[in-house]
């Protein structure tokens, strides 16, 4: 009988490796359309992935957090298997447990071992909303700039300067490999937020109304926005 652990991508042993490169394509029902597969787009994705790795190496605190967390696989092999199942199926993983049991550290351990770049963290409060996790639109700053700008200038072309993708929104950007998105303490959220997140993860897409309105006027316009990783400052979004 073969080794029943051979299928595992994540081992939980604190040793970095490149097994994520062997991760199969997602199931057909987890493949989403409207992804630009051109060579130019591929090159941009590769370049941003390398930047993610550089940023992660500079964050020694998070590196140590992932490196120092080890799962006792003999007693908790079900945890390792659950992480791997989520990777194979491209599904979210709900981790429960007592305070201090390592729920949050598990996310950093996965990111460290598989070299998946910085963990995208969204700490939940009772006032958290889905839009807060997706993006932030600074309408006040845009209005102030519009008042200072020349009346003849086309201010709508600069809307990307006032939009920043937050942790959840950044996780939805095309990437070489899955990103680690940590939605922390979701039990503190409003009762509707978990259902909103489930629908988001099922559909695999979301709309930014401020850009959608612009696309009706300028169908060929490209907008550059910021992401949750401030050192990776720009992303081009085709409307």
Mean pLDDT value of segment 185-212: 92
Q: Are strands 163-165 and 135-137 parallel, antiparallel or unpaired?
A: antiparallel
Residue 230 has pLDDT above 60, yes or no: no
Q: Kindly indicate the confidence band of residue 180, based on its pLDDT and cuts at 50, 70 and 90.
A: very high
**What integer pLDDT is reported at residue 43 of this predicted model?**
80
CA dist list (Å): 32 to 84, 202, 205: 21, 10, 8
Q: How confident is the model at residue 234 (pLDDT cuts 50, 70, 90)?
A: very low
CA separation, residue 23 to residues 20, 44, 109, 141, 146 (Å):
5, 21, 18, 43, 48
pLDDT band at 107 (very low <50, low <70, confident <90, very high): very high
Look at residue 206 and tell me whether its pLDDT is greater than 80: yes
Helices vs. strands in the chain: H and E counts, helices first: 9, 6
- 3-state DSSP call for residue 139? helix
pLDDT for position 47: 80
Least confident of 11-25, 114-128, 137-151, 186-200: 137-151
Over residues 37-51, mean pLDDT: 74
User: Taking 60 as the threshold, does the pLDDT of residue 232 lie above it?
Assistant: no
Out of 22-26, 28-32, 48-52, 217-221, pick the least confident.
Answer: 217-221
Give the model's confidence band at 55: pLDDT under 50 very low, under 70 low, under 90 confident, else very high.
Answer: confident
Q: With 70 as the cut, is the pLDDT of residue 45 above it?
A: yes
C-alpha to C-alpha distance for 179 and 151, rounded to whole angstroms: 42
Mean pLDDT of the region 191-220: 86
Would you say 100 and 93 are in contact if contact means Cβ atoms under 8 Å apart? no
Average pLDDT value for the chain: 84
Q: How far apart are CA 48 and CA 124, in angstroms?
A: 27
């Amino acid at each position: 009988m073969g080794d029943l652990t051979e299928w595992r991508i994540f081992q939980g042993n604190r040793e970095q490796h490149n097994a994520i490169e062997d991760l199969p394509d997602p199931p057909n029902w987890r493949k989403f359309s409207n992804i630009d597969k051109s060579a130019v787009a591929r090159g941009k994705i590769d370049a941003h992935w390398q930047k993610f790795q550089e940023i992660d190496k500079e964050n020694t605190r998070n590196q140590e957090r992932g490196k120092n967390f080890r799962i006792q696989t003999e007693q908790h092999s079900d945890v390792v298997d659950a992480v791997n199942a989520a990777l194979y199926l491209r599904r979210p993983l709900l981790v429960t447990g007592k305070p201090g049991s390592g729920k949050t550290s598990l996310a950093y351990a996965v990111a460290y071992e598989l070299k998946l770049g910085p963990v995208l963290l969204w700490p939940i409060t009772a006032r958290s909303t889905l839009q807060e996790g997706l993006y932030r639109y600074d309408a006040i700053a845009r209005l102030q700039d519009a008042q200072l700008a020349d009346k003849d200038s086309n201010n709508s072309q600069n809307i990307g300067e006032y939009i920043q993708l937050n942790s959840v929104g950044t996780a939805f950007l095309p990437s070489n490999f899955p990103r680690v998105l940590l939605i922390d303490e979701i039990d503190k959220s409003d009762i509707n937020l978990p259902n909103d997140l489930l629908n988001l993860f099922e559909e695999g897409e979301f709309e930014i109304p401020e850009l959608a309105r612009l696309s009706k006027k300028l169908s060929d316009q490209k907008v550059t926005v910021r992401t949750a990783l401030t050192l990776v400052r720009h992303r081009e979004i085709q409307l």
